[in-house]
Chains A and B, each alone.
Chain A
Amino acid sequence: MRIFSIFAVMIFSMFFNFSVANAQTITDDENCMMCHKYPGLTRVNDEGYLRLFYVDSERYDHTVHTKVKCSGCHTDIKEIPHKEAKQVDCATECHIKESGSEKPFSHKKILKDLQTSIHNPENENVRAKIVEDFPTCTDCHKNPSYRFLEKDVDELASARHTERVFQKCSVCHDNSSQYRYFFNHVTHRIKDLTPHEDVVATCSKCHSKQEMAEKHKLKNAAATYLDTFHGKAVEFGLDNAPTCIDCHVKTGESAHKIMSYKNPQSATYEETRYLACKDSDCHADPGKEFGMIRMHTVIDKDIYPIEFYVALGFTILTIGAFYPLLGLMILELIRELFPNVSFRRRKKK
């Protein structure tokens, strides 16, 4: 019996060591976790919503922001205990220093990109200026919330094969928390690690909503995209199938610079649209007219009359050919039940 307990202790301590080796502690010089480590830290706000202020340090450790101090983003908090904090501005210069230079790091440049895009309500091509509908950083970049919500427990890691890639890198590189941080930082931005469905899902958050499209005088972009071969290829898991970003962002540009098709700088500007299709993995050598193939076809008489009348023609043909035949079929099935009944009997010749 004793020998078993010794084994049990040995095996248990193995796991114990292992978990200790992987455990990381977040940078918490400011001692914010003194309060925020408690899962029950909540308050009912003025609008009557229950707000949860718990921070799951395990989750925070695995995000891109793990190196940033709390006050790096929550700049308005100067003392503890603090009052209600303002919403974080992603363009804040945080306490991280950009590697290679001694300047403080910030997402300002990306915000500038976003301001040139159609997602800025001030853009002249915006059809309906409903400011609260326009996306901010966090609408698309769903960093995991640092508190736990049952539905998104596995969301971050499950869709990507990061672990497998990481194992390869760790053959040479140290499997330390610092290394993992840089690894995550880089791989997060490598396109192929982002499943295509995720890109479409991100844009679909707004662009698949019919009422949102109507409000902004647009069409349902996600639905029309899913009706094309591009959308179907993504849906059924074809490699290299194009997502929204592949066509709406110029090669090499920031994904934040999605512009109106009316803007000459845009990837979808009619004159140069075919260049967006040109890729050795997509369409090798498209002509200018190739770019005019519509990728968000709406059956609408006013926008695309040719498509509308062709679809109408085929609908009439289908109804006109199929339903009369179906009618005759049903009539015959009824008729043959009473083969000898009729109003007028012809004399047999």
Chain B
Amino acid sequence: MMRKMPLIKIKNGEKHYLKMTVGQKYQHYILMTTFIILVLTGFPLKFHYYPWAGSTIDFLGGLVVTRTLHRIAGVIMCALFFYHWYYLFRNTYQYYIGPARKTGTFSWKELGLFIYYSPMCPRKKDWDDIVDFVKFAFFFTDERPKHERFHWREKFDYWAVFWGIPVLGITGIFLWFPVFAASFLPGWAVNISYIAHSDEAMLAVSVIFIWHMYNAHVNYDKFPMSPLFITGYLPEDLMKHEYYVEWARINKVVDKDPALMVDLDAEKANEAISSEEKLQIIRDQIAFLKDGEGEK
């Protein structure tokens, strides 16, 4: 966000506000793809007693294939988890520690504030927003809570994954290498890994396929699909409706530095040429080539 990237893009006369950077979008793509593969290859095993389980495994090429796919996808998802940690530390260094040291203004208190006000950190405001939302939902008020860049629902999803990947990753490794696990842990550790892996996956799937899908795509405002996970930008009406504080913040930043707003419509208009201009180009070209032939 702090790099100079367009915060607002204008297309077809409508403003679109930046919500996910390109890097975040790719992290989400990897998470999404591996998650779907893991569910497709893991759930037929969990629900082996349903007829669709056998046909899903056969469709994917048999148990040997699904087992391999599950492990590959699991390893990639865990790698993404480690990358995300690196990403968090790198951002902390790049956007606060580094510049603050260079300017000699580093303080631990400010570092704490940097982390506390970072977009995904749960804050007191999120709790207030939940309370306000419940008031709104029970018709006590007609005012919706005003959210920042990521609201409490998104933070819940984020932290659920943050806790879920280590649980599923570690238990997954124990199930993949049970001899290794039993070499330093009691036997029941593998048994509880089995329970935890399967139950935690069930929780993740219920939350993602119902709660996350509802919030991101299926609710009244966004149905049938929000463009956010593909473009990284949200249209102004959605942004103002759901992320009022962020909408106001971006507007303020763009007011100060209009270079952060890119008008794609104007660029397109600049590139467009009229019929006269087109004909002029063609005629000039013919004339130039003719002259060349005459010289011979």
On whether A346 and B141 interact (CB within 8 A), knowing A237-B62, A326-B210, A336-B220, the answer reads: yes
- Minimum Cβ distance to chain A for residue B212 (Å): 10
Complex: how many Å from CA A285 to CA B177?
A: 12
Q: How far, in whole Å, are A96 and B110 apart by their CA atoms in the complex?
A: 95
Contact of B178 (CB < 8 Å), options: A283, A331, A345: A283
| Cα-based distance from A35 to B203 in the complex (angstroms) | 67
Which residues between 172 and 207 of chain A lie within 8 Å of chain B, taking CB atoms? none
List A contacts of B139 (CB < 8 A). 335, 338, 341-343
Indicate if A133 sits at the interface (CB-CB under 8 A).
no
Q: Complex: how many Å from CA A335 to CA B145?
A: 14
Chain A nearest Cβ from B189, distance in angstroms:
8
Q: Is A158 an interface residue (CB 8 A)?
A: no
Interface-facing stretch out of A39-47, A145-153, A288-296:
A288-296
Q: Across the interface, which residues of A come within 8 angstroms of B214, CB to CB?
A: 329
Residue A16 interfacial (CB < 8 Å): no
Return B217 CB to nearest CB of chain A, in Å: 13
Contact size range, A: 35 or more
Question: Interface extent on B, as a size class?
Answer: 35 or more
- Kindly supply a per-residue 1/0 record for chain B positions 148-190, scoring 1 wherever the CB is within 8 Å of any chain A CB and 0 otherwise: 0000000010001000000000000001001100110111101
Which residues of chain B are within 8 angstroms of A345 by Cβ–Cβ distance?
141-142
- Is the beta-carbon distance between B199 and A314 smaller than 8 angstroms? yes
- What mask results when residues 305 to 333 of chain A are scored 1 for a CB within 8 Å of chain B, else 0? 01100110011011001100110110111
- A287 near B179 (CB under 8 angstroms)? yes
Binds A, one of B28-36, B117-125, B130-138, B286-294: B130-138
Structural contact, B45 and A289, CB atoms closer than 8 A: no
B195 within 8 A of partner (CB): yes
With contacts A322-B206, A342-B140, A342-B142 known, is A294 near B191, CB below 8 A? yes
Q: Mark A271-296, 1 if CB is under 8 A from B, else 0.
A: 00000000000011111011111100
Decide: B203 and A292 in contact? CB cutoff 8 A: no
Name the interface residues of B194-253: CB closer than 8 Å to any CB of A: 194-196, 199-200, 202-203, 206-207, 210-211, 214, 219-220
The 8 Å CB contact of B187, one of A294, A329, A333, is A294
Partner of A339, one of B62, B142, B210: B142
CA distance A325 to B45 in the complex (A): 27
A293 to B179, CA, bound (A): 10
Contact B140 A289 (CB under 8 A): no
Q: How far is the CB of A224 from chain B (nearest CB, A)?
A: 11
* A235 contacts B by Cβ under 8 Å: yes
Docked pose: A335 CA to B194 CA in angstroms: 40
> In the complex, A228 Cα to B134 Cα: how many Å?
43
Q: Is the CB of B137 within 8 A of A332?
A: yes
Q: Is A344 an interface residue (CB 8 A)?
A: yes
Are B48 and A235 in contact, CB atoms less than 8 angstroms apart?
Answer: yes
Task: Report A341 CB to chain B, min CB distance, Å.
Answer: 6
Q: Tell me whether A236 and B54 are in contact (CB under 8 A).
A: yes
Q: What residues on B are CB-neighbors of A27 within 8 Å?
A: none
Q: Is the CB of B196 within 8 A of A310?
A: yes
With contact pairs A293-B178, A333-B219, A346-B143 given, residues A232 and B48 touching in the complex (Cβ less than 8 Å):
yes
Instruction: Enumerate chain B residues within 8 angstroms of A307, measured Cβ to Cβ.
Output: 188, 191-192, 195
Q: Is A110 an interface residue (CB 8 A)?
A: no
The answer to whether A233 has its CB under 8 Å from any CB of chain B is yes
Residues of A within 8 A of B191 (CB): 293-294, 297, 304, 306-307
Measured in the bound complex, the distance between the Cα atoms of B198 and A232 in whole Å is 14
Distance (whole angstroms) from the CB of A238 to the closest CB of chain B: 5
Question: How far, in whole Å, are A285 and B179 apart by their CA atoms in the complex?
Answer: 7
Answer whether A325 and B211 are a contact pair too, CB < 8 Å, given A226-B48, A314-B203.
yes
Task: Determine if B143 and A332 form an interchain contact, defined as CB atoms under 8 angstroms apart.
Answer: no
Bound Cα distance from A139 to B200, whole angstroms: 42
Chain A residues lying within 8 Å of B45, measured Cβ to Cβ, are: 229, 232
B77 at the binding interface (Cβ < 8 Å): no
CA gap between A236 and B142 in the complex, in Å: 55
The chain A residue sitting closest to B53, CB to CB, is A236
Q: Is the CB of A335 within 8 A of B137?
A: yes
Q: CB-CB contacts of A215-255 with B at 8 A, as 1s and 0s?
A: 00000000000101101110111100000000000000000
How far does the alpha carbon of A153 sit from the alpha carbon of B138 in the complex, in Å? 67
Interface residue? A340 (CB, 8 A): yes
Minimal beta-carbon separation of A280 from chain B (angstroms): 13
Q: Contacts of B195 on A, CB cut-off 8 Å?
A: 297, 307, 310-311, 314
B203 touches A344 (CB 8 A): no
* A236-B57, A287-B182, A332-B219 known; A292+B137 contact, CB < 8 A: no
A289 touching B199, Cβ below 8 Å: no
Using CB atoms and an 8 Å cutoff, list the residues of chain B in contact with chain A.
Answer: 45, 48-49, 54, 57, 62-64, 133-134, 136-143, 156, 160, 175, 178-179, 182-183, 185-188, 190-192, 194-196, 199-200, 202-203, 206-207, 210-211, 214, 219-220
A-B contact pairs, 23 of them (CB 8 A): A226-B49, A229-B175, A237-B63, A287-B183, A290-B182, A290-B183, A292-B182, A292-B187, A293-B182, A297-B191, A306-B192, A310-B195, A311-B195, A311-B199, A314-B200, A322-B210, A325-B156, A341-B142, A342-B140, A342-B142, A343-B140, A343-B141, A346-B142
Beyond the given pairs A236-B62, A290-B179, A306-B192, 16 more chain A to chain B contacts, judged by CB atoms under 8 angstroms and listed by A's residue number, are A292-B182, A294-B188, A310-B195, A311-B195, A314-B199, A322-B207, A322-B210, A325-B210, A328-B137, A329-B210, A332-B137, A333-B220, A335-B139, A343-B139, A346-B142, A346-B143
